[in-house]
Amino acid sequence: MGFAGRVCVVSGGATGMGRATVELLLERGARVALIDWTRQKAEAIASSEKFRAYVADVSNEDDVQAAFSAIDRDFGPIHGLFSNAGVARTEALIHEESAQTWDDIMAINLRGTFLVVREAMKRFVAQNEPAAIVCTSSCMAKLAIPGGTNAYTASKGAIEALVRQVAVDYASRRIRINAVAPGAIDTPLMWATTPVEQQAEMRKTIDTEVPLGKIGQPIDIAHCVAYLLSDEAAYVTGATFLIDGGVGAKMVLSV
């Protein structure tokens, strides 16, 4: 799964799964453009010939277009995209959910995915060469967790539907697109809606209930993303890879 001579773009790349993927791709020879909306984190990352960071809010069309234009200038043609930027917010049951909360989550998770994928696809089509995209979905695209994560769940289900559509539309051009659906992964986003005082107990619950007996790590996702972006996955498109330690295969009832 070597990436020598290839340029990959990673959105949401400053922390968590995105950061782990950036580091893995660099290790395997890629040149990487990281996009993140946290200016402090992006600007703190040292630039080099192989790696640069760009600040953009993926829900903002002008930001995304400007970031890709800068990547064109600094790196030239790109060959792979990991569309990973996403947010989670504290939500309510749907009869109490605010439209603003819904819109905020959809703007980043779904609109952001659309804008980033669209900009990459414009370049892939113009280059007329094989290319690959991976989008971050979630185990919650198919399995609901009680408590009202309406917008987050809906956004991730929509991402998987979008991946299938784009896969079919661009397969003849040899442009592949797939999704990864993480389960419980130890990232800042994982704990974004959990009060600090509850996190230790939640970790114990995860370690007990996940069939593989532990919470996942960002590198677990990065390995799958690298595979899907590589030539080893040349016959894989329109698929979603569930990476959840076996939770999705487990019967909920213990009887």
Q: Would you please indicate which residues are annotated as catalytic (active-site) residues?
A: 152
Asked if 241 contacts 224 with a C-beta cutoff of 8 angstroms, the reply is yes
Asked if 92 contacts 37 with a C-beta cutoff of 8 angstroms, the reply is no
Residues 6+ apart with CB under 8 A from 242: 139, 181, 183, 248
- CA pair distance 73, 79, nearest whole angstrom: 15
φ/ψ of 53, rounded to 5, equals -115, 145
Asked if 218 contacts 184 with a C-beta cutoff of 8 angstroms, the reply is no
- CA pair distance 183, 215, nearest whole angstrom: 9
Which amino acid would we find at residue 70? A
CA dihedral 64, 69, 75, 76 (to 10 degrees): 120
- CA pair distance 186, 203, nearest whole angstrom: 9
Both structure tokens of 64? 């995304």
Instruction: Read off the DSSP letter of residue 131.
Output: E
